[in-house]
Amino acid sequence: MKLINRFILIYLLVTAVVLAAGGVISYYIIKDEVNFELRMRFMDRINRAGDLLEHSRRFARRVNDHNGYDEHGMVIRKLDHHVPPHVVSGDTMAWHEGLQRMEANVKVAAYKQINGDTYYIAAYGVLVESDDIREAVIKTLLWILGLQIVGAIGVGMVVSGRLFKPFRSTLKRIRSFKLQHSEPIRADETSVKEFDELNRFVEDMTSKAIADYRNLKEFAENASHELQTPLSIARGKLELLMETDLDPEQYQYLESTDRALSKLSKLSESLGLITKIENHEFDQSEKVNLSHLVQDSLKAFEELLALNSITVEADLKEDVEVNMPPVLADILWTNLFQNAIKHNVTDGRIKVELGEEALVISNTGKALKQPPEQLFERFRKGEQNSASIGLGLSIVKRIADQCGFKLSYQYNAPLHILSVRF
Amino acid sequence: MKILLVEDNPDLAQNILTYLEREGYICETAADYDAGFDKVMSYTYDIALIDIMIPNGNGLQLLQELRSVNPKTGSIIISARNALDDKVKGLELGADDYLTKPFHLSELHARIKAVNRRKHLDGDEIIRVNEFKLNTSTREVTVNDEPVELTPKEYDLLVYFTANKNRVLSKQTIAEHLWGDYVDQLNNVDFVYQHIKNLRKKLINAGAADYIETVYGIGYKFKASRP
């Protein structure tokens, strides 16, 4: 439920309760006022009747009920005993001709001393029936309620657009926020305190997230840099040492030390690369022509493959384009291809199939020693002592995940089949 | 040839310095941005090797300054950062080459020679070694003026050898030079032996002396003097 709708609902609910209470109060106030007015009028009439009696004037009265009331709802009676003069007012139920039912009427009765006699003069009647008052009050209130509803919804629709504009704009900014852009959200100033609080919070939070992200990124980068420098120094020293006069044994030591250092440096580079992929540092997707990429790479490796006596069969569809960061496309293909070369056998072959939906690369090779599901984990190697660092397919997996590709492995002896579905 | 090396790590600078001085180059070093800036402004160098991460500034900035005062100076950016944007930025700013740490000194040397050829010897793109002639623009090789058919990798290998004459080059170094980063994925670098064998055969058949010497089964050496 939208916030504005909830506001309107609560507002209308409160309004309804207030109006109901207000209705009851109005009913009694109006009734009181009307009755008061009526009583005043009856008093007036009684006094006039008293005056007429005092001046011994007769006036025609037609009594039409058993209590001695005339058609104007008045009774004048001469009493035999003395009653001190006073006025009694109250309600009485009387038959209403028009409505054909008993109605609550106002009644005023006065005891008066007129020329030494005690008279009882009373009048009763009704100006507006309480039914009518109730009806009028309810009608009025329903009108007010109706107008409130129309007004609230109207105001809700018109104002909410404007009132919630800063909120929606902040929301939009949060949605389009990306850590890598290292641009914290800057929300517009609003005149609403709550929105300002929200905006400040979002700004602080995104700044912090960006700072943390940057720290992490810098750490990964610095770690790689700091590692590469000493490695570089060590390898340089080895190379200088290699220039001096050494015996074959010493050369061997130098050579294997250099190879170990080289592996170490590749390892830190690859780990850095995985971190970068996981940090989504490559997300500038564009159309990459995989056909060209694969073709160029196959051509570049022709010599190497021939030397390793590996034959390549390629079935490439022309101009297959995939939407992904170009760097990742390059790394993805390189790792897949290298994997196929590395785990191949002498006089082996590699089959590359590229279509609109998938890239499938198969290579001859020894059967896996570990379960296939471990294939894409870090540092899972077919042979522990091999020269590879065991991160190639892990990198492939990370790239596939980031680009939303499906990576699968199948073994169909003697072919290992890796397919990437776009 | 006069070379400026901007590198803050003294050990690394010393390595490069020793290696290049053995080659007979005049080499000066600067340990930070300010020193580098002073040198760039005061002297003229043939080649500048600039590390990206240096104290008090950025190597790319220094490269820009260098390009504005001395566009003729060849430049090679050195960085541990394998970040693609650094590489792209460096080359966009006019660096002639880009090398990531760690690198082989022989690789650096080969790159220096290549940059020097491009920047300063534009009229003379021929590498001459005794009876060899390598035309670096057409990638053609002749022995005693007779053309020799080489594959692209064999040509690269020969250029690499001529840049590092009389020096033991390990199979690993050669493999990395020829195939770059792909090499680490290969179980062994014995295929280098195949390359060398083919190259040797082609050169000898063309009438050249056998310059390539096998060193203890570790690597190879290109001997500059006629055997």
* ipTM for the predicted complex: 0.76
- Region of A125 (left: φ > 0; alpha: ψ -120 to 50; beta: rest) is left
CB contact under 8 A, B81 and A269: no
Rounded to the nearest 10 degrees, the angle between the axes of helix A193-242 and helix B105-120 is: 100
**CB–CB of A258/B172 below 8 Å?**
yes
Mean pLDDT along residues A97-114: 80
Does residue B176 or residue A370 have the better pLDDT? B176
Question: What is this structure's pTM?
Answer: 0.58
Out of A233, A236, A304, the one facing B179 most closely (by C-beta) is A304
**CB–CB of B101/A233 below 8 Å?**
no
d(CA A254, CA A242): 7
According to DSSP, residue A70 is labeled B
Out of A259, A303, A389, the one facing B153 most closely (by C-beta) is A303
Of A8-22, A46-60, A406-420, the one with minimum mean pLDDT is A46-60
Question: Of A85-89, A390-394, B45-49, B186-190, which has the strongest mean pLDDT?
Answer: B45-49
Does residue A55 or residue A64 have the better pLDDT? A55
Q: Minimal Cα distance from A261: which residue of B?
A: B102
For chains A and B, what is the number of CB pairs under 8 angstroms?
116
Q: What is the pLDDT at residue A286?
A: 84
Q: For residue B64, give how far its alpha carbon lies from the nearest alpha carbon of chain A (Å).
A: 23
The pLDDT confidence band at residue A248, using thresholds 50, 70 and 90, is confident
* The two three-digit tokens of residue B197, written as one number: 């064998």
Cα A105 to Cα A66, A93, A130, distances in angstroms: 17, 6, 10
* The two three-digit tokens of residue A417, written as one number: 């089949």
**Other beta carbons within 10 Å of A342:** 20
**Is 60 exceeded by the pLDDT of residue A383?**
no
| Phi and psi angles of residue B99, each rounded to the nearest 5 degrees, phi first | -130, 130
Helix, strand or coil for residue A221? helix
Out of B82, B185, B191, the one facing A342 most closely (by C-beta) is B185
The pLDDT confidence band at residue A245, using thresholds 50, 70 and 90, is confident
Q: What is the pLDDT at residue B85?
A: 66
Ranges in chain B, pLDDT < 50: none
d(CA B14, CA B21): 10
| Cis amide bond preceding A166, omega within 30 | no
**Is 80 exceeded by the pLDDT of residue A368?**
no
Residues 357-396 of A with CB under 8 A from B: 386-389, 392
The pLDDT confidence band at residue A59, using thresholds 50, 70 and 90, is low
Residue A86's contacts (CB-CB under 8 Å, 6 or more residues apart) are A110, A111
- H helices of A107-192, in order, are 130-163, 165-175
**Is 80 exceeded by the pLDDT of residue A197?**
yes
Of A155-164, A315-324, B49-58, the one with minimum mean pLDDT is A155-164
